[in-house]
Amino acid sequence: MSLFENTLKQINRAASLMNLDPNVKTLMENPQRIVEVNIPVKMDSGSLKIFKGFRVQHSNYAGPYKGGIRYHQDVDMGEVTALSAWMSIKCSVVGIPLGGGKGGIIVNPKELSLGELERLTRGYVRAIEPVIGPDKDVPAPDVNTTPQIMDWFADEYCKLVGKDAKGVVTGKTLEHGGSKGRNIATAQGGVYVLDEVAKEKGFNPADTKVIIQGFGNVGGVMAQLLAKKGYQIVGASDSQGGLIFENGVDPDKLLGCKAEKTTVVNCDIDFGGKRVSNEELLETECDILILAALENQINEGNASNVKAKIVFELANGPTTPEADEILAKRGVMVIPDILANSGGVTVSWFEMLQNADNNYLTEEEALAKLLPIMVDGWKAVKANADKYGCTLREAAYVTALTRIEEKIKEKGIL
Ligand code: GLU
């Protein structure tokens, strides 16, 4: 089954709750443009290899298409389409003037040399150049793509168009026009939302046990920020497996160890962690389970065994619609991806604005500007959850679809 079917189910649920104009629903169910490209890359061995790449432009009713590029061996068009639709929804949940897009290349970047990775990235830019641009479609990092890759992307695009157009991509290094705060923005935005949830639920960080699935760029930073607030980090995993720490762990130290030993699993003896599989980690007792890895992690098969009180989605699409129903019945609160992880794209938007007027924010300013956007997003979602008596995910869709419907009508498209 394609991941996009999950998105369609989510749109459907919200549409029936809120009585969405059926024509708006139809527009949201059909991405505006789907591009598939074959990228020729000269490998270090001298041979030529073709890599398949995608860019899906889901909608630009609220603003230019916006969303990351994923480098992964299992990427397919259905996944990229789902992710592009989630970007449209995400940007409108927090009310930023951007639409939704997503890209991907079928590749395991760990198997490529740095030179091959650069040639692949530049080849992808040349292949999709006609459909992107700072006011048209602005890619960014996603799974396995880095600020360095974004720098190559911007450089290749600027060469092609013969001018400074580095705002064509966000998530660049600071030296090449990136925004301060972008590297921690997804996690920081998540913390701002979690602070609101904590106020609502009245929980105290020091008594709150957190497990993080996906102790990488986003999940690792989230652990650090939460530990600073006094939360106890009692479990962490990466693609190799996980560790449970009865008495908690210092995420700074765990990140340092992971960097040295390639996976958290090899840090078991260093911090007294018990090795568990990823499946076991998801079913371990805790207060907050943070999902910061890939899609479909909580599904029909394991949703009844999740013991966390709150599931917090920093990854995109980690909970299936079937699992959502099971969790809702069991009273597990799910803070949905389209709100929880929207801090990343929000600071990407700041980066676009900074590139356009060549005026740069300090990290403090960027994160201060992010705060009210996340809090307002949370408030709008919570208000809809109360109004419709629905889950936070349904409410987030209602919030976004209401705004997108307004834009579509303002533009006279319907
Ligand atoms: N890939 C991130 C996401 O899924 C960031 C997208 C962006 O900054 O445009 O939200």
pLDDT for 30 equals 98
Q: Are strands 48-59 and 33-42 parallel, antiparallel or unpaired?
A: antiparallel
Q: In this structure, are residues 213 and 289 in contact, taking their beta carbons and an 8 Å threshold?
A: yes
Q: In this structure, are residues 102 and 84 in contact, taking their beta carbons and an 8 Å threshold?
A: yes
Centre of ligand 1 to C-alpha 116, Å, is 24
Count other C-beta atoms under 10 Å from residue 385's C-beta: 18
Radius of gyration of the chain from its Cα atoms, rounded to whole angstroms: 20
Q: How far apart are CA 385 and CA 391, in angstroms?
A: 6
Alpha helices per DSSP H over 22-62: 22-29
Instruction: Please indicate whether residue 316, judged by its CB atom, sits closer than 6 Å to ligand 1.
Output: yes
The H or E element spanning position 256 is: helix 251-261
Q: In this structure, are residues 403 and 97 in contact, taking their beta carbons and an 8 Å threshold?
A: no
Of 322, 350, 349, 324, nearest in space to 337 by CA: 324
The H or E element spanning position 52 is: strand 48-59
Q: At what angle do helices 392-410 and 77-93 cross, to 10 degrees?
A: 80
Of 144, 182, 187, nearest in space to 313 by CA: 187
Q: Are strands 288-291 and 137-138 parallel, antiparallel or unpaired?
A: unpaired
Q: Which domains does the chain have, with CATH numbers?
A: 3-9+18-166 (3.40.50.10860), 183-340 (3.40.50.720)
**Which of the 8 DSSP states describes residue 311?**
E
**What is the residue with the minimal CA distance to atom 9 of ligand 1?**
67
Centre of ligand 1 to C-alpha 249, Å, is 29
pTM metric for this prediction: 0.97
Structure tokens that stand for 96 in this block: 């930023």
Instruction: Please indicate whether residue 6, judged by its CB atom, sits closer than 6 Å to ligand 1.
Output: no
Cβ-based burial of 150 (10 A; exposed 0-12, middle 13-18, buried ≥19)? buried
Instruction: Please indicate whether residue 377, judged by its CB atom, sits closer than 6 Å to ligand 1.
Output: no
Instruction: Please indicate whether residue 63, judged by its CB atom, sits closer than 6 Å to ligand 1.
Output: no
Cβ-based burial of 77 (10 A; exposed 0-12, middle 13-18, buried ≥19)? middle
The H or E element spanning position 6 is: helix 3-18
Q: Which atom of ligand 1 is nearest to the CA of 348?
A: 8
The H or E element spanning position 160 is: helix 147-161
Is 102 annotated as catalytic? Answer: yes
- Torsion sign (Cα): 283, 287, 293, 296: positive
**CB-side neighbour CA atoms (13 Å) of 179:** 31
Q: How far apart are CA 44 and CA 102, in angstroms?
A: 29
Please give the backbone phi and psi of residue 178, each rounded to the nearest 5 degrees, phi first: -70, 165
Of 265, 288, 283, 267, nearest in space to 211 by CA: 288
Centre of ligand 1 to C-alpha 22, Å, is 28
Q: Are strands 65-66 and 241-244 parallel, antiparallel or unpaired?
A: unpaired
Entry field: residues in the chain: 414
Q: Which atom of ligand 1 is nearest to the CA of 341?
A: 10
pLDDT for 217 equals 87
pLDDT in tens, the chain (414 residues): 689 999 999 999 999 999 999 999 999 999 999 999 999 999 999 999 999 999 999 999 999 999 999 999 999 999 999 999 999 999 999 999 999 999 999 999 999 999 999 999 999 999 999 999 999 999 999 999 999 999 999 999 999 999 999 999 999 999 999 999 999 999 999 999 999 999 999 999 999 999 999 999 899 999 999 999 999 999 999 999 999 999 999 999 999 999 999 999 999 999 999 999 999 999 999 999 999 999 999 999 999 999 999 999 999 999 999 999 999 999 999 999 999 999 999 999 999 999 999 999 999 999 999 999 999 999 999 999 999 999 999 999 999 999 999 999 999 998
Instruction: Please indicate whether residue 69, judged by its CB atom, sits closer than 6 Å to ligand 1.
Output: no
Instruction: Please indicate whether residue 64, judged by its CB atom, sits closer than 6 Å to ligand 1.
Output: no
Residue 39 contacts by C-beta under 8 Å, 6 or more apart in sequence? 50, 51, 52, 53, 105, 120, 123, 124, 127
pLDDT for 1 equals 67
